[in-house]
Amino acid sequence: MSLAVGALFVLLLVLAGWWPLRRLAGGWVGAAPLERAALALALGAAVTGLLQLAVSACGAPSTALVPGAAAALSLLLCRLAPGPPSPPPVRAGPLPGLLALLLVVVAVASVGAAVGTPFSADGVRIWSAKARDLALHAATSAPSLHDPDRFGVHRDYPLLVPALLAPSFAWSGPEAAAGPKLVLAALNLALLGVASGLLRRAGPRGLAALAGLATLPFLCSLEVRESAVAGGYADSTDALFLLLVVAGVQRLGAEERPARAAGLVALAGGALVSTKLEGGVELLVVVVAALLAGLPRRRVLPAAALAVLLALPTFAIRAGVAGDEAAFELASLLAPGVLAARAPPIASGLAGLALDASSFALLPLLVLAWLLPSAPAGQTRTRTLALWMLAGALLFLATAYLATGMIPARHIYTSAHRLAWHWLPALLLLAAQLAPAPGHAPAHPATTPARRPDAA
Amino acid sequence: MPRRAVLLLLACVFAAAAFGVSRRAEWPLPGAASWTARHPDPRVVDAGAEAALAAQVDGERRGDLLLLFAALAAGCLVVAAAPRVAAWMGGAPSAVLLCGSIGLGVAQLGVSIAGQARGLRDGSWSVADDTLDRIAPREAATLREWRARIAPDEGVILIGSDPRLYDLVVWALDPRPLYPLLLDIRPATSAEQVLRGARGLPIVRERGARWIADLNVLPPGTPAGHAALMRVEP
């Protein structure tokens, strides 16, 4: 029963994203139906989640009304306002049969790892607890957010994912987890599908990178700490929106008429900020990296500003919640004793992410091996963007762990790999674009007719 | 041919490294313990718990290193056996890393599928709407009984700090208001003593909490002077 409920809500998200897909990304992601469905699911989750939060900020619980209305409106708009015809899809390399088979097996195993196991750890304390609360109450009145005596963990966390899960919880039984976890698993698959659509344009190395991404242990592991799906966390959703932001930012620099790319960055960026606390910092890092890489300021900044506007419900909700114990103590950054105690373990912890084979296999090393050598001609901007993103991510993680109010070793152990996961697909995309094999011209978004020689 | 020889040599080196790592139970970072001893973190209040965490992390580091070396050895072997892969990838290092990564990933994929199949057989993997039995086979009946006794709007004070039991109760008693008191009381404490203490709490007098649940005596068979769930009248 719960699984069927989850499948229904996944379908509604795909439908809700169909019109945004046609308007923002119609000719971009490629012609493969499953890749288009994955992008529609991602955009539908962004639209539905942001609408759900706006409604919740206005005082209504997160019911099936918003997903249903968003799906119906999307279908209506597809008929009434389909928009100008999309440019023909950029030709992508065909998916080899063995890789297609691998993707199918990974999809089945990943969904199985999610729906067949219960919520656990933060999946119980944070994501499902908030979703169940939002199913009954608005975010402006949910007791777990506003009553400091009541059970509530991280009351200041953004609520897009709980708002997406809430209707599935409301329609499932009191103990059921399969439906809500199917929604999370579908977002995990959407990440893989969107990455597939993007990476296939990066030539043979893009296909190789896709195979590496698909076989990450993190995608289907049953070990809760090392799994993107088994515990019921929201990190793959964050990684999905971050990947879309980066892909959109690349298009901002490449297209002659960047309105679609700006819309994509705004929508995905707003959803990113509304998904996890780190999302706001991650959007900032991408924007700063884009500017440092020489992407046009007049295109990047308005798109980022629109993303912040779309996240206003999240800011409004957060301003009203009961205060938690401070998660970070900025004074720690100025205390020599704290810095001396924490700097070496944090440095080793962050360096250890590159060797975290049980979560990421050898993919971080591969990304570094592609990013660190000098870029091929015409790809300097892509490499610069990637390196600034990497530097920003590491700086953010180091600062956060230096200032954490938790015990740093425990904080790193429980979170660093999940936060690194946010960046890995986007960095892999950029790194794969840097490495065209001889005789294979890169065919990523930069190859649209309007591209400049160095456009990323 | 020299490249193939180098790759085979590297495969042997990595395989030997993996074998060496596999013979140890943990892989502590050199110098980490002495640094921590000389520069204690002011946030650390429970040195025993932190030492346990450090041992756990050292064990997981050993596991990661083992997988890493094994994957590198496998990657070297594949590229040595099929040099075309290196040409296709634009270089042997990338090819080794990618082949090793895919090999490790496929092996872990197999582990996940086997784990799910095993779970399907023993009942721990299921898409049925009854997760409580799978999360807490020992406590599920008690928690269902609690859910029957406690009205959805009645508040419950939670005593105890065991994370697993905490998660269980948070999952099972939703949407009842939960008021956590992160403290432990001795299991031998009498019911009257527990209730007397609870009656004085503001959440009972002012917020309508009507039940007190001691997670430490929730597991069936725990000897205690009080029941795991008691009704509190202000």
User: What ranges do the domains of chain B cover?
Assistant: 2-122, 131-231
pLDDT score recorded for residue A436:
55
pLDDT score recorded for residue A449:
38
Give the C-alpha separation, B74 to B101, whole Å: 9
Interface test with B, best of A366, A415, A433 (most B CBs within 10 A): A366
Query: Could you tell me the pLDDT band of residue B20, with boundaries at 50, 70 and 90?
Result: very high
pLDDT score recorded for residue A60:
97
B101 in A contact zone (CB under 8 Å): yes
Give the C-alpha separation, A188 to A425, whole Å: 12
Q: Sort residue A439 into left (φ over 0), alpha (ψ -120 to 50) or beta.
A: left
Chain A environment of B115 (Cβ under 8 Å)? 222
Give, in order, the Cα–Cα distances in Å from A218 to each of A191, A227, A232, A356: 13, 5, 13, 10
Chain A environment of B32 (Cβ under 8 Å)? 344-345, 348
**Dihedral sign of CA atoms A26, A28, A29, A34 in order:** positive
Residue for token pair 């140890």: B24
Please give the structure tokens belonging to residue B109.
Answer: 């994929």
User: What ranges do the domains of chain A cover?
Assistant: 2-82+97-432
Chain B residue with minimal CA distance to A362?
A: B101
Give the C-alpha separation, A159 to A155, whole Å: 10
Give the C-alpha separation, A282 to B144, whole Å: 42
Chain B environment of A109 (Cβ under 8 Å)? 109, 112-113, 116
Q: Which residues contact A69 (CB under 8 A, 6 or more apart)?
A: none
Q: Nearest-CA distance from B160 to chain A in Å?
A: 13
Which residue from B35, B64, B112 is facing A356, i.e. has the nearest CB?
B64
Which residue from B29, B97, B126 is facing A366, i.e. has the nearest CB?
B97
Cβ(B149)–Cβ(B229) under 8 Å?
A: yes
Q: Nearest-CA distance from A330 to chain B in Å?
A: 14
pLDDT score recorded for residue A193:
95
Q: Is the peptide bond before B2 cis (omega within 30 degrees of 0)?
A: no
Q: Nearest-CA distance from B64 to chain A in Å?
A: 5
Cα A283 to chain center, whole Å?
11
Cβ(A206)–Cβ(A93) under 8 Å?
A: yes
Chain B residue with minimal CA distance to A212?
A: B102
Q: Nearest-CA distance from B44 to chain A in Å?
A: 6
Residue for token pair 């289907």: A220
H-type alpha helices, A255-379: 259-273, 277-292, 297-310, 312-320, 336-352, 357-360, 363-371
3-class SS of residue A227: coil
pLDDT score recorded for residue A90:
61
Q: Is B105 within 8 Å of A205 when comparing Cβ atoms?
A: no
Please give the structure tokens belonging to residue A84.
Answer: 């100008």
Q: What b-and-e string marks burial along B15-35, b requiring 16 or more CB atoms within 10 Å of the CB?
A: bebbeebeeeeebebeebeeb
Please give the structure tokens belonging to residue A230.
Answer: 């088994």
- Note which residues in 50-69 of chain B have CB less than 8 A from chain A: 50, 53-54, 56-57, 60-61, 63-65, 67-68
Q: Nearest-CA distance from A21 to chain B in Å?
A: 31
B206 in A contact zone (CB under 8 Å): no
- Note which residues in 70-89 of chain B have CB less than 8 A from chain A: 71-72, 75, 88-89
In terms of DSSP bridges, do strands B178-181 and B155-159 run parallel, antiparallel, or are they unpaired? parallel
Q: Is B41 within 8 Å of A136 when comparing Cβ atoms?
A: no
φ, ψ dihedrals at B68, nearest 5°: -60, -50
H-type alpha helices, A218-258: 235-254
Chain A environment of B112 (Cβ under 8 Å)? 109, 112-113, 217, 220-222
- Note which residues in 105-144 of chain B have CB less than 8 A from chain A: 105-106, 108-109, 111-113, 115-116, 119-120, 124-132, 134-135
Residue A404, beta-bridge partner list: A328
Q: What is the pLDDT of residues A354-395, one digit of tens each?
A: 999 999 999 999 999 999 988 787 789 999 999 999 999 999
pLDDT score recorded for residue A441:
45
Give the C-alpha separation, A104 to B109, whole Å: 12
Q: Which residues contact B124 (CB under 8 A, 6 or more apart)?
A: A117, B118, B134
Chain A environment of B75 (Cβ under 8 Å)? 362
Which residue from A121, A147, A362 is facing B71, i.e. has the nearest CB?
A362
Q: Is A113 within 8 Å of B112 when comparing Cβ atoms?
A: yes
Task: Select from A293, A272, A286, A242 the least CA-distant residue to A434.
Answer: A293
In the predicted model, residues of chain A with pLDDT beneath 70 are 26-31, 85-93, 435-456
Question: In chain B, what's the furthest Cα-to-Cα distance?
Answer: 85
DSSP string, A80-106: H---SPPPPPPP-PPPPHHHHHHHHHH
Give the C-alpha separation, A12 to A32, whole Å: 20
Give the C-alpha separation, A154 to A322, whole Å: 10
pLDDT score recorded for residue B44:
67
Q: Nearest-CA distance from B61 to chain A in Å?
A: 8
Q: Which residues contact A50 (CB under 8 A, 6 or more apart)?
A: A160, A267, A270, A271, A274, A310, A311, A313
Chain B residue with minimal CA distance to A173?
A: B129
Chain A environment of B104 (Cβ under 8 Å)? 215, 217, 357, 361-362
Element counts in chain A: helices (H) and strands (E): 21, 0
Give, in order, the Cα–Cα distances in Å from B69 to each of A28, A77, B106: 39, 54, 16
Q: Is B93 within 8 Å of A120 when comparing Cβ atoms?
A: no
Residue for token pair 């020489």: A294
Q: Which residues contact B58 (CB under 8 A, 6 or more apart)?
A: B26, B27, B28, B29
Q: Nearest-CA distance from B225 to chain A in Å?
A: 26
Chain B environment of A136 (Cβ under 8 Å)? 175
Give the C-alpha separation, B124 to A222, whole Å: 12
Chain B environment of A124 (Cβ under 8 Å)? 167, 170-171
pLDDT above 80: residue B35: yes
Cβ(A377)–Cβ(A446) under 8 Å?
A: no
**Residue B183 is which amino acid?**
L
Chain B residue with minimal CA distance to A181?
A: B127
Q: Nearest-CA distance from A116 to chain B in Å?
A: 5
Which residue from A124, A221, A342 is facing B41, i.e. has the nearest CB?
A342
Cβ(B77)–Cβ(B11) under 8 Å?
A: yes
B196 in A contact zone (CB under 8 Å): no
Give the C-alpha separation, B26 to A148, whole Å: 41
Q: Is B158 within 8 Å of A407 when comparing Cβ atoms?
A: no
Question: How many Cβ pairs within 8 Å bridge chains A and B?
Answer: 208
Q: What is the pLDDT of residues B59-92, one digit of tens each?
A: 999 999 999 999 999 999 999 999 998 988 878 9
Q: What is the pLDDT of residues B205-221, one digit of tens each?
A: 888 899 999 999 988 88
Other C-beta atoms lying within 10 Å of the C-beta of residue B53 = 16
Cβ(A155)–Cβ(A324) under 8 Å?
A: yes
Q: Nearest-CA distance from A39 to chain B in Å?
A: 25
Q: Is B174 within 8 Å of A369 when comparing Cβ atoms?
A: no
Q: Is A211 within 8 Å of B102 when comparing Cβ atoms?
A: yes
DSSP string, chain B: -HHHHHHHHHHHHHHHHHHHHHT-S--PPTTHHHHHHHS--TT---HHHHHHHHHHHHHHHHHHHHHHHHHHHHHHHHHHH-THHHHHHTSHHHHHHHHHHHHHHHHHHHHHHHHHHHHHHHTSS--SS-HHHHH-TTTHHHHHHHHHHS-TT-EEEEE---HHHHHHHHHHHTTS-EEEE-----TTS-HHHHHHHHHTSHHHHTT-EEEEEEGGG-STT---SS-SEEE---
Q: Nearest-CA distance from B158 to chain A in Å?
A: 9
Give, in order, the Cα–Cα distances in Å from A12 to each of A9, A165, A168, A337, A432: 5, 12, 12, 53, 33
Q: What b-and-e string marks burial along A381-393, b requiring 16 or more CB atoms within 10 Å of the CB?
A: bbbbbbbbbbebb
pLDDT above 80: residue B127: yes
Q: Nearest-CA distance from A390 to chain B in Å?
A: 19
pLDDT score recorded for residue A437:
47
Which residue from A355, A356, A408 is facing B41, i.e. has the nearest CB?
A408
Mean pLDDT of B106-126: 95
